[in-house]
Amino acid sequence: MDRRFHVKDEVRVLGIDDSALISDRILIVGAFFRGGDWLDGVMTSYVERDGMDGTASIIEMVRKSKHFQQIRLIMLDGVTYGGFNPIDILSLYEETGIPVVVMMRRYPDMAQIEKALSHLPNKNERLEIIKKAGKISKISIKDGSNSVYVQCSGIGVEDAEKIVLLTSTRSNIPEPLRVAHLIATGVILGESRGKA
């Protein structure tokens, strides 16, 4: 069941993104924000490139954090990390008790995803986890001229949209994700690159 939110200006959001795929262990970074203005903390973990440990790694990172009790929403940049290491957003919600919103700039091409997965072990299991993330909803940002796509677990699309709008203070991407991306790529590559 989706939790109803009273969306406050300083809602505590943890945005998680991964670094560049330059090794077999991929750094993931969580940027813990109050709304879209205040960075209150940073946490890190690792996932195996094209592995199956992403969900467990994120759960462990979140639950061990000193911020755990304050986090009201986990925001992910897509449903796979470290290449095609799938994140089970239902399990992430169930194991942490924190609703999850997956952000995507573009509607995913499932045919391309299935083609890419055909080269990896556990293809069917990976695909099942990706599909299990559920319905993909389009939401408008800023003045309505730009859109992104979301998947939700433990929160309704309307409340997710409010939080996305509230936290997208500097760009079309919520600050928790944008900053997590900047930190992850900067640490691994020596300088931030690409888009969240």
- Candidates 1.10.1040.10, 1.10.3720.10, 3.40.50.300, 3.30.2170.10; CATH matching 12-189: 3.30.2170.10
Does residue 62 surpass a pLDDT of 70?
Answer: yes
Q: Which residues contact 13 (CB under 8 A, 6 or more apart)?
A: 32, 33, 35, 71, 72, 73, 74, 75, 163, 167, 174, 176
Higher pLDDT among residues 193 and 60, named by residue:
60
**What is the pTM assigned to this prediction?**
0.94
Does residue 175 surpass a pLDDT of 70?
Answer: yes
Mean pLDDT of 40-66: 98
**Token representation of residue 73:** 């929403």
**Token representation of residue 186:** 């900067």
CA-CA-CA-CA torsion sign (144, 79, 183, 82): negative
Does residue 70 surpass a pLDDT of 60?
Answer: yes
Does residue 53 surpass a pLDDT of 70?
Answer: yes
- Please give the pLDDT value at position 5: 66
- Please give the pLDDT value at position 170: 87
Beta strands 100-104; 73-77: pairing state: parallel
- Please give the pLDDT value at position 2: 58
What average pLDDT does the structure give for the chain? 93
Spans of all domains in the chain: 12-189
Q: Residue 70: what residue type?
A: Q
